[in-house]
Amino acid sequence: MTVSIFIISLLAAMGIGMPIAYALLVCGLCLMGFLAATSGLVAWDSQILAQRFVDGADNFPLLAVPFFMLAGEFMNAGGLSRRIVNLAMAWVGHFRGGLGYVTVVAAIVMASLSGSAVADTAALAALLIPMMRAAGYNINRSAGLIASGGIIAPVIPPSIGMIIFGVAGNVSITKLFLAGIVPGILMGAAVGITWWFLAKKEKVKPAPKISIPERLAITWRGSLALALPVVIIGGMKAGAFTPTEAAVVAAVYSFVVGMFVYRELKWSEMYGLILSAGKTTAVVMFLVAAAMVSAWLITVANIPTEVAGMLEPFMDNKILLMCFMMILIVVVGTALDFTPTVLILTPVLMPVVLKAGIDPVYFGVMFIMNNAIGLITPPVGTVLNVVCGVAKISMDDAFKGVLPFLLAQLAVLFLLVLFPQIVTVPLHWWMH
């Protein structure tokens, strides 16, 4: 019955157009009222909700969120993102369908800088859509490629999504970061291979091949941007700093490079950039705080045990259980945005994962990867909406363009379900 109360109250609040954060609070109120009236497990007290709400946001690892957001703003305004695109253009732009390969390479590199799918996609689309349109590429296919490249960001470290999952599921964020490297690269490879097949249909003249000295010069100019992921990942692996401290390093590094080295970041822009990062952070933090209220009541109501009971037939087969959970997350991801899906499903599924003996870090990577794919599935599809806005095309056209890449990403997802060692073995290597 408590599962029904949870689902019905949440869907009803969302159905009348209530923002997700407020819908989660309403869901918490309904659960609290039901438990107070039927079982006495918790007393009806609004102060408890307020306290849990404050406690939800009062978490040190979440401090990484505003700094990674700020780092993304500094990188886009300071010229780091543009130099990464130029670097990719220098090395792979002369191939058939070269701008597509530029998109894939730039998406992987930028994913290792900001950790935000929306920010990376907006930057890539703003830089590459006009170039691809002018070169004569199919704009729907180009938009789909950029969107599918943008969703690599939540998987490759540093990832804001992994920080949120780590806090909600009490999983090591450092291990999540390191475990996401190989799956993120595989996602990029899947997009690149798909583009290789599709590029045969593009009757576009490749860009002229530039000389090795010119390529090296462009690489040198972009080397400071490329150094940031090395600093972040190397620092965490060496134990020099935590993911939260890595976020501060990323923000300071991108500020210094953009302001004093590339000199494209202006003091007059600082207020707007900080305000933009602050607004995005406020949305995320409010969602996290509201979700922690529901998460606490989900635990009190023993909903995970009920869900585990429903999944009992799959408990003896980890692959079958993972397949079922991945399908569930895919379905939920079409209707909910990334962060709400993580916050709502984590407290429900994590006890099931632990009971079944599945590595929580492995599950976390798969969970985040699945939610990232949800960013390019309509009707919500935040990343797809961003690309539609920049390219000025309809959602239907964008979905036609993204569909082959979406199927490739799903194929990678289920490959990792069948062979979890692809995630766990590199993680053990990174940790030693």
Q: What is the pLDDT of residues 163-194, one digit of tens each?
A: 999 999 999 999 999 999 999 999 999 999 99
| pLDDT number for residue 42 | 66
Work out the end-to-end distance of the chain between its first and last CA atoms, rounded to an integer number of angstroms. Answer: 46
Q: How many whole angstroms separate alpha carbon 22 and alpha carbon 13?
A: 8
Task: Count CB-CB contacts under 10 A for residue 57.
Answer: 15
Place of tokens 């401290």: 245
Quick one: pLDDT band at residue 43, thresholds 50, 70, 90?
low
Q: For all residues of the chain together, what is the average pLDDT?
A: 89
Mean pLDDT check: name the lowest of 31-40, 203-212, 328-337.
31-40
pLDDT value of residue 37: 78
Q: Rounded to 10 degrees, what is the CA torsion of 254, 77, 127, 64?
A: 50
Q: From CA 120, how far away is CA 154, in angstroms rounded? A: 10
pTM summary value: 0.90
Q: Which has the higher per-residue pLDDT, 320 or 58? A: 320
